[in-house]
Amino acid sequence: MKPILLLIDLQWDFLQNDGLLPERTRLIAAAETLLKRARKVCLPVVHVRTTVRREDDRRLPHWRKSDRWLCVEGSPGHAAPHPLQPVEGEAVIDKTGFNGFANGELDRALRESGGDTVVLAGVHLHACVRAIATECLERGYEVRMAEDAVGSYDPVHAAAVRRWLAARCVSFEPGLQALTRDPASRPRVLVHRSPRHSRETLFEMPIAGSKKVAGAVAAAKNEGHHWRETSMNARWEVLEKLASGLEAAAPDLARQMAEQLGKPIGHAREEVRRTAGNIRDVIRRAVTVPLDRDEAAGRVRSRPLGTVAIISPWNNPLAIALGKIAPALIYGNTVVWKPAPAAWPISQAALELLSRTGVPRDAVRLLPGDSSTAQSLAGHPDIDAVTVTGALTAGYAIQEICARSVRPIQAELNGNNAAIVWTDADLKQAARQIAWGAFGFAGQRCTANRRVVVATECLEKFLEELVAAGESIAWGDPLDEKTEIGPMIHAGRRDEHEFRVENAEADGGAHRVLRLQADRARELAATGGAYAQPVIACCDLPDHPLVQEETMSPLLVVQAARDFDHALELCNGVAQGLAAALFSGSEDLKQVFLREARAGILKFNSSTTGVDSSMPFGGWKLSGIGPPEHGDGDRLFYTRLQAVYGL
């Protein structure tokens, strides 16, 4: 194998597009890492760029229509970021449209390189990257996409292109792996390493392909008739046994989460308790509200959906997964469940509990795998609905799949949650709540405090209290009963956390950065675990990536507000809308907050994290699709209404 690296349209005019995913600083960093490796091992590198000349106007039609001049030769927007600029000996191919092969120069450069495999990085996946990938396939090259270094500002379109290319043998994998992997060594297993000791492999997990997906769906569908006809009493009795079984197994389950996921053991025990409580709330609602009711014109019935695909994350492996499985089952559905890879063993333990309590084997089928498995499951023709909790990119991909078959979807897609701290607040109490919400479990909760908006008059005093509160939170081994901040799920997430902070310092976005618990950070660094130092970063640029990009790390962004209208503008000024909080005793401000805050969960004088499973859990804007989880949302999603006349 001889790979060739193709860098496509990594030019400022494209990289500055609003909504680019991944965000441009991360995209540039990933492409730079890839380029450095290619140069180090002397691989051919080809730069493909769009070049427009005013004296010979060959712009794309939609640019002409909107009178846009992009990538004009010699302009700042035509250039690549400095780390990605070509050096002597690297081919540079100019194009005027989508197809880099149009003038024959790229074809010639690839043939002269003698390579047989192309690794693509650049923008945009839905347009020029796709065009070049398909042309490379047609010419017989193996095509690999550096998934961490390929971006698009049209995420739904990009998700469709990704699936389309993957079905045509284009592999999507981390950039360095794509560049160096031998074709014969493509892994068929996923490896999970210890968050506490990053070099220690805890387990390997197979990746279920389309045949295993089809088998699991067929089994669950076949069980569907029997389970649907099982009485409500029989169903809730099974789930009550499950709740009791969870409570009995809590010590073992909590230890497993601490060891495998780095979740502080106290948090893990609380998750098991909360999961049991959620299951009992599901039972209560199902048995007290009739499924059918009579109206003057006929009968209204609530009927099960059929077979539901459940795609769950690693950070709350029991609470989220069983919080979906329990309502699915009690309303007569069967389930095919694809958990996150890191949660595979704990998911197997949960499945064993389900089996022991009397849930038929085929009523809940468990699938191991990665994002390709999840997408294969969501797209299977015998799946009747999909519920997913995950990152925004996963949500876009599953939404696109469900749209093709007009299939119901419920998606919880994380948050970028803000708390407003106003002048009349108890600053010490607010600081304690927000620090715990931001840094507990290393910030790896979708409801974690990501941002805090503070009245300018009390900013300095609040920062003092916030630092003191953050310094006092126990950080260390998740098996220690005192620990509140454990490691991150893996070293890559820790490194991304550090990159975000360092980049914001370097570009001036963060005008003040406070790294907490410095002595403890040095101690934990020596353990070899994925421990990320808690950070408070002050950023007054509302459009900066530090503010706009949702993180899953112990990073709290502080923003100053000149008045309450400005505070609400900052609170609402991100694409997500999961949770928001207000720290104030003013009844007038509370009413304004209730009227204006754009989030699915609102809290007063409390951290954004921590919810009750009897209440609906769902985000607004980019944080959620479909009915919320829990509470009234369960029946809304897991059943559908049927009107019956003349019965």
What residues have CB less than 8 Å from 537, skipping those under 6 apart?
Answer: 501, 504, 510, 512, 513, 514, 546, 555, 556, 557, 558
Q: Is the residue at 157 inside a domain?
A: yes
Q: Is the residue at 172 inside a domain?
A: yes
Locus of tokens 């406070």: 514
pTM of the model: 0.94
> 147 and 270: one domain?
no
Q: Is the residue at 159 inside a domain?
A: yes
CATH number of the structural domain spanning residue 392: 3.40.605.10
> 433 and 564: one domain?
yes
Closest CA to 305 of 163, 239, 402: 402
The list of the chain residues with pLDDT below 70 reads 184-187
What letter would DSSP give residue 83? G
CATH number of the structural domain spanning residue 102: 3.40.50.850
Q: Is the residue at 619 inside a domain?
A: no
Q: Is the residue at 460 inside a domain?
A: yes
> 585 and 636: one domain?
no
Model pLDDT, residue 311:
98
Q: Is the residue at 616 inside a domain?
A: no
Whole-angstrom distance, CA of residue 521 vs CA of residue 642: 58
Parallel, antiparallel, or unpaired for β 579-583 and 364-366?
A: unpaired
Whole-angstrom distance, CA of residue 282 vs CA of residue 236: 9
DSSP-H helix ranges across 262-389: 265-288, 319-330, 344-356, 371-378
> 153 and 168: one domain?
yes
pLDDT digits (tens, 9 = 90+) for 411-433: 999 899 999 999 999 999 999 99
> 105 and 223: one domain?
no
What letter would DSSP give residue 81? P
Closest CA to 370 of 443, 447, 314: 314
Whole-angstrom distance, CA of residue 136 vs CA of residue 124: 16
pLDDT digits (tens, 9 = 90+) for 377-401: 999 999 999 999 999 989 999 999 9
> 224 and 324: one domain?
yes
Q: How many domains does the chain have?
A: 3
Model pLDDT, residue 185:
64
Domain holding 511, by residue range, is 417-611
Closest CA to 611 of 281, 342, 182, 387: 281
Q: Is the residue at 426 inside a domain?
A: yes
> 374 and 299: one domain?
yes
Q: Is the residue at 75 inside a domain?
A: yes
> 236 and 122: one domain?
no
What residues have CB less than 8 Å from 588, skipping those under 6 apart?
Answer: none
> 169 and 268: one domain?
no
Closest CA to 268 of 250, 286, 285: 250
Residues 362 and 337: beta-carbon distance below 8 Å: no
> 172 and 318: one domain?
no
CATH number of the structural domain spanning residue 452: 3.40.309.10
Count of positions (residues) in the chain: 647
> 551 and 640: one domain?
no
> 477 and 594: one domain?
yes
Residues 310 and 328: beta-carbon distance below 8 Å: yes
Model pLDDT, residue 414:
86
Closest CA to 499 of 29, 24, 21: 29
